[in-house]
Structure 1
C-alpha cells in the first residue's frame, strides 16, 4: 500500500506521538532481523584502492554475506574531533555492536586503534589483525605490545603477503576461513542506546513519519531512548544521518530527510514486524488527515 500524504511531527500532539513510541521501541528491540553479522574494519583510508583495507573489504564483499562497517562512516564527526569526542571513547559500545573487528596496521590511525583496542579484552578477543608478513619478525613496539595483547585475549593474528591479491585464493583462503571461525553464532545482546545502532533507529523513524528534520529526529530519539540526549548522543545522531546519506538510504530535500528506494528496501529486509510497522505508519499518517 502506498501512502501519498506525508506527516509533519509538528502537526501531531504529544499524546499522539507518545502512543506510538512504545510500539516503536518494541520494534527496535524485538522486531529487527539482526542475524546478519557485523564486521568492523580499520586500516588505511578505504578510498585508497592500493590499501590493504580496500582489498580486504572487496574480498569480504565478494565472498561473504556479512555487513561491513567503517569507523569513518559511523563517526565522521567524532573522528574530526568535534566536542572533544573520539571513536576510542566508544569502545564498550563498539564491543557490544560488532561481531568481529578486522584491523590492518598500515597507517598512523590504524596503529592508534590497534594500541587502544588491544588493551580492552572485550575488543581484543574479537580482533583479527592482518599483518604484512614482512613485519612478522620485527622487534617492534606493535609486535611486542598490541600484538601480544591481542593474542593473550584469544584474538587472532594472520600474516598476509605484501603483494596481497584479494582475487588470489592462495592469498585469501585462510582469511575467509578464520573470519568464519571467529564470527559467533546466535544473536548478540545489545543496548537500544548503542550509538553504532542509531542508523537503524533513525531509518525506521523516517520510514514511519515519511519525512523528518533534524529537530524532529532528535525529539523522537529522545523519546525512544527515554532520556535527554547528551552531546555525544547528538553527535552520534548526526554521524548516523551522514552515514545513511552516504549509503544512499536517505536523501535530504530542503530541511527534511526522506527515504530513498534503497532505504525503503532496507527497512523491508531488516525487520520481522513488517505488518506492525505498516499499520503503525498508516496510523501515524492518518493523524494528519
Structure 2
C-alpha cells in the first residue's frame, strides 16, 4: 500500500528488498541478502521499513546500527504499538527518533489516507534535496556515485534544516496568520523542529509575529525559500483551509 502511493508520484521508483537481486547492478554479487540490502540502502534516498514480520524486525536491528543508513531509515508500524514498553520501542525506535522525530511513523490501518500522507513526507524531503543540489547530493549520499562519500549526517543536516524552514513557511502561508499550535498540526514537525524552523525564519526576516502569538510571512509567495515548491499547490491548500475554517 505504501509503495503503491509512492509509485504514483513522478520520478519515483520503489522496490521491495527481495527484488534487489533482480537489479542490474546487483545481479552478479554473490553474497548474503543482508549484505546486499545494506549495500543497496547506501544507494537509495531512503529505506521505508514496514515493521510487521520477523524479517523486518531483523532488518531494523541491522539498519539502526549503521551510520549513513539509519539517518535515512523510515519505519512504519501500527499505532497499537505507540508508547509500547518493549525493547524495540526503547531500543532501535528510540534511537531513530532521537536522530529525526519524523523517522518513526505510527499509522491506523483503518485510515489509509492518513498513512499515505505521512509516507509522502520523507519522499518530499529527498526530492527537495535532489532538486537543490543535483549531482552534489547524489555523490555525497550514494555509494554508486562516490564510494568514499562524505559523512552522511554532516551533509544532510543543513538541507533538512532548510527544508523544515520551507515547510514551516508554507504552513504560515497556507494558514490565515496561524498560531503556534496550528503550525504544529499543519507542518507535521516535532516541536523541537518547529521551534528551530521558526527561529531560523524569524532571524532571516522571513516571518514576523502579529497579534497574539500568530505568524505572518514577510515576502509571501515571492520568498526565495519557496522556489522549489508549487505556488499553485500552496494557494490551493490555503483556500481549502480557509474554506474549512
> TM-score, normalised on structure 2?
0.47
Structure in which a larger fraction of residues adopt helix: 2
For the pair shown, the structure with the greater C-alpha radius of gyration is 1
> TM-score, normalised on structure 1?
0.40
